[in-house]
Amino acid sequence: MNFHTRDFLKASATLLAFSALAGFISPSQRVKAANNVRVVTKIYSSAKPEQSTWASVKKYRHDIPVQFLGINDLHGGLERTGNATFGNTKYENAGGAVRLASYLDSAQASFKKMAKNGKTFRVESGDMVGASPSNSALLQDESTMHVLKAMEFKLGTLGNHEFDEGLGEFHRIVVGGKPTKKYNSAEMNYPHQKSGLEIVISNVVDRKTGKAPFNFKPYVIQTVKGKNGQKVKVGFIGILTNTMPTLTTYQNYHPYKYLDEATAIAKYDRILRKKGVKAIVVLAHTGVASTVDSNTNQATTTGPSVDILQKLYKLDPKNSVDLYLAAHSHQYANAKVGHTVLLQSIYSGEAYEDAIGYLNPKTHDFAKNSLVGHVFPVMSSQQDPTIKDNSKVAAIVKDADERTSLIVNQKIGEAATAQSLTGRDKNNQYDENETGDLVTDSQLAAGKEAGQKQGLTVDFAMTNGGGVRAGLAVKPDKSITWGAAQDVQPFGNILDIVSMTGQQIYDVLNQQYKNYGAGHHTYLLVSGLKYDFTSNDDKTQPYKVTKIYTNDGKGLDLNKSYNVVINEFLKGGGDFFNQFKEAKQVGTAGVDTDVFVKYIEDQTKAGKPITAPKLDRKNFVGKAQ
Q: What CATH number does the domain containing 547 carry?
A: 3.90.780.10
Q: What is the pLDDT of residue 2?
A: 36
The pLDDT confidence band at residue 246, using thresholds 50, 70 and 90, is confident
The DSSP secondary-structure symbol of 286 reads: -
- What's the average model confidence in pLDDT over 206-224? 97
pLDDT surpassing 50 at residue 539: yes
pLDDT surpassing 50 at residue 164: yes
537 or 16, greater pLDDT: 537
Considering the domain architecture, whether residues 344 and 434 belong to the same structural domain is answered as no
- Residue 147 lies inside a defined structural domain of this protein: yes
Query: Above pLDDT 90, what percent of the chain?
Result: 79
- What's the average model confidence in pLDDT over 199-204? 98
Q: What is the pLDDT of residue 572?
A: 84
- Please report, for the domain that includes residue 176, its CATH number: 3.60.21.10
pLDDT tens profile 469-509:
999 999 999 999 999 999 999 988 889 999 999 999 999 99
494-501 and 584-591 beta bridge pairing: antiparallel
pLDDT surpassing 50 at residue 16: no
- Residue 2 lies inside a defined structural domain of this protein: no
- Residue 404 lies inside a defined structural domain of this protein: no
- Residue 403 lies inside a defined structural domain of this protein: no
- Are the C-beta atoms of 603 and 502 separated by less than 8 Å? no
Task: Name the least confident of 23-27, 93-97, 158-162.
Answer: 23-27
pLDDT tens profile 73-131:
999 999 999 888 876 678 999 999 999 999 999 999 999 999 988 999 999 999 999 98
- Residue 3 lies inside a defined structural domain of this protein: no
Which residue, among 356, 501, 393, has the nearest Cα to 150 in the 3D structure? 393
Percent of the chain that is helix, strand, coil (3-state, to 5) = 30, 30, 40
Q: What is the pLDDT of residue 592?
A: 94
Q: What is the pLDDT of residue 17?
A: 29
Considering the domain architecture, whether residues 363 and 458 belong to the same structural domain is answered as no
pLDDT tens profile 339-393:
999 999 999 999 999 999 999 999 999 999 999 999 999 999 999 999 999 999 9
Considering the domain architecture, whether residues 446 and 472 belong to the same structural domain is answered as yes
What are the two backbone dihedrals, phi and then psi, of residue 49, each rounded to the nearest 5 degrees? -55, -40
User: What span, in angstroms and rounded, lies between the C-alpha atoms of 566 and 449?
Assistant: 15
User: What span, in angstroms and rounded, lies between the C-alpha atoms of 456 and 592?
Assistant: 19
- Residue 173 lies inside a defined structural domain of this protein: yes
- Residue 156 lies inside a defined structural domain of this protein: yes
Considering the domain architecture, whether residues 214 and 75 belong to the same structural domain is answered as yes
Considering the domain architecture, whether residues 446 and 315 belong to the same structural domain is answered as no
pLDDT surpassing 50 at residue 441: yes
Considering the domain architecture, whether residues 161 and 254 belong to the same structural domain is answered as yes
Q: What is the pLDDT of residue 512?
A: 92
Considering the domain architecture, whether residues 368 and 228 belong to the same structural domain is answered as yes
pLDDT surpassing 70 at residue 296: no
Q: How many CB atoms lie within 10 A of CB 360?
A: 20
Q: Mean pLDDT for the chain?
A: 90
- Are the C-beta atoms of 108 and 356 separated by less than 8 Å? no
**Four-point Cα dihedral 97, 102, 105, 111, nearest 10:** -120
Considering the domain architecture, whether residues 213 and 86 belong to the same structural domain is answered as yes
Q: What is the pLDDT of residue 364?
A: 97
Q: What is the pLDDT of residue 7?
A: 33
Q: What is the pLDDT of residue 298?
A: 67
User: What span, in angstroms and rounded, lies between the C-alpha atoms of 521 and 267?
Assistant: 30
Considering the domain architecture, whether residues 380 and 415 belong to the same structural domain is answered as no
- What's the average model confidence in pLDDT over 309-332? 96
Considering the domain architecture, whether residues 374 and 420 belong to the same structural domain is answered as no
Q: What is the pLDDT of residue 555?
A: 96
335 or 292, greater pLDDT: 335
Considering the domain architecture, whether residues 367 and 440 belong to the same structural domain is answered as no
- Are the C-beta atoms of 621 and 534 separated by less than 8 Å? yes
Q: What is the pLDDT of residue 53?
A: 87
Q: What is the pLDDT of residue 25?
A: 30
Entry pTM:
0.85
Which contiguous run of DSSP H or E holds residue 336? Answer: strand 332-337
Which residue, among 546, 549, 545, 580, has the nearest Cα to 564 in the 3D structure? 580
Q: What is the pLDDT of residue 282?
A: 99
pLDDT tens profile 231-244:
999 999 999 999 99
The pLDDT confidence band at residue 293, using thresholds 50, 70 and 90, is low
- What's the average model confidence in pLDDT over 529-550? 93
The length of the chain in residues reads 625
E strands, 157-254, are 198-199, 204-206, 219-225, 231-240
Q: Which region, left, alpha or beta, applies to residue 519 given φ > 0 means left and ψ of -120 to 50 means alpha?
A: left
Considering the domain architecture, whether residues 376 and 487 belong to the same structural domain is answered as no
- What's the average model confidence in pLDDT over 564-569? 94
Q: Which residues form the domain of 475?
A: 411-623
Question: How many domains is the chain built from?
Answer: 2
* Helices and strands counted in the chain (H then E): 15, 31
- What's the average model confidence in pLDDT over 398-410? 97
- What's the average model confidence in pLDDT over 120-148? 96
- Cα(first)–Cα(last) distance of the chain, in Å? 39
- Are the C-beta atoms of 197 and 176 separated by less than 8 Å? no
- Residue 446 lies inside a defined structural domain of this protein: yes
Which residue, among 404, 403, 610, 437, has the nearest Cα to 525 in the 3D structure? 437
pLDDT surpassing 70 at residue 24: no
The pLDDT confidence band at residue 537, using thresholds 50, 70 and 90, is confident
Q: What is the pLDDT of residue 13?
A: 33
197 or 27, greater pLDDT: 197
